[in-house]
Chains A and B, each alone.
Chain A
Amino acid sequence: MKYVDEYRDGKMAKQIAENICQAVDADKVYHFMEFCGGHTHAIFRYGIPDLLPENIKMIHGPGCPVCILPIARIDSAIELAVEHGVILCSYGDMMRVPGSRRRSLLKAKAEGADIRMVYSCSDALTIAKDNPDKQVVFFAIGFETTTPPTALIIQLAEKQQVKNFSVFCNHVLTPSAISTILESPEVRDMGLVPLDGFIGPAHVSTIIGSQPYEYFSQEYQKPVVIAGFEPLDVLQAILMLVQQVNNGTATVENEFTRAVTPNGNEKAKSLVADIFEMRREFEWRGLGLVPYSGLRIKAKYAEFDAEKRFTLTPSKGKDNKACECPKILRGVKTPKDCKLFGTKCTPENPVGSCMVSSEGACAAYYSYGRYQLK
């Protein structure tokens, strides 16, 4: 497959892996966090840990929009479908995420709610046009990458006067989450989570550019290498981070030059700015309330805001106390440190959010990482 196989080449992987082995200082342990679930998935799917020296430790960050969505928001989505009788359109990987009492969209669908899996938010708008007598809500989730399409669809809905369409907005922002991790006492004061550098987001950075990460490298003295989601991208980024640590530098480097520019996609950014504004705070599973980390629909598009159109009951949904997802998402623990991992919590029956999406750290460990070397 052109433009894909080039970035999955085994021979090249071996070469970069050798370069990494030669570059690492044997007396040092390197701790790098890949922020994005897409990177976590690539690391496990292609077996990257087998190619790395033992003194490189990867910490799997909170960059999976499915994993970080709090129970209360899932409860609200279910409420929209069940109590308000809307046609709820959702991306596939949201369908199995458990809300309160382990209820999920999939279970609500089985009970008779009209919940439809869509591949694109434009499908949701089409469904709205095809069902003019029903309210249709798009369950919008995701980081900066999925926000522009949602913005575009709201613009279209207004232009085409699709009155029965609205968006339940759960879009979140990457830089504020990275700040929260770096500001957390475990990282800043207690040193429980040694963090020597970040692999910066791939697709998110195509929108926001590499510039927003400059702050982290300067303020917190952490190197950041923005990398694509292909396995060679990840390996190359690790090599670049090792070199920065060895040289004592902390700059933002861009490995993903084929798609990321310093300023990102101006058109997409202005589209997002037209439709959305910051929420004062937004709850993340694992990180709690994070200031200025989520988006809501601006007042001028209020008619397309499901939170304005429908009265939603505030949910008090709480995570299972034994679930270590919050600590795993902050890099304090690994999936194997959780008592529920692989016993009460499996991909078939997930307790915590990190087990739900294939991009979550627990699911990646469970599905790809349990093999025994012969």
Chain B
Amino acid sequence: MASAAPLSTQPWLPTYGWWPPASAYVLRVVLSPYHHSVDPRAEFAFTLRGYGGAATPAWEHEVGRLGHGEQRVVDLSSLDLPAPPPAGGVLEIDSVRTDEPPQQGRNPYIGMWLDARGPNGGGYLIPTIPIRGAGKTIARDDLQVVPGVMASQEVETELVLLNPVDETIEVRLVASSADGLASESKPFEVAPWSAFHEDLSGRIPRLRRLLAPSGGLGSLAIYSSHRILPYFAFRRPGQPIVSMDHPAPIFG
């Protein structure tokens, strides 16, 4: 039976991204060594896994070993996968460098890229990020910020929160207008190995009114009881999103 990337027996941390509903996006995983190493002797092994609310993967796809210079684009729609939950699931990219362990002072993970395309255009392109097993390297593990969120009749902010750990994560969202007025959501939970996907104005009371004086623009603070992986995107009425990005960690 498939299981999550083992943190105790391999030195490279897995990275994560959103496994979106197949009806919403065609998702391709771009696996390339160039984002990690220029060493022509480097060798890698890749395994993809999808999670839909349980620590046991709903599916696993072993890509195999690639030498430096070899690249693969894996189209998830070609893999005959089960459907994720309505909000999507968690995608694990288990990238391991097989010829050497992580070097001192270097990040012990190998991020790859997700290229998602909507049926009517748009989509997003985003690198995968470690969460599970990642050490504390930033000033605030409980807080990330999004400079520039939007809520108005013309634009909505979509928020995706990924929880790739075994514990439930409690989240609180605080939106603020350009001049510092704030409104916050009630705390809510993101279950283990699950994705949360909602419009921001559905979670934060009177968000459109809060942001109206600054043209529907403001910023967002995301508090979480464990480090979580958020993404955000903007959507105009009747149009697809065109990008997703991660919030800013609080650097020291």
- The answer to whether A binds B is no
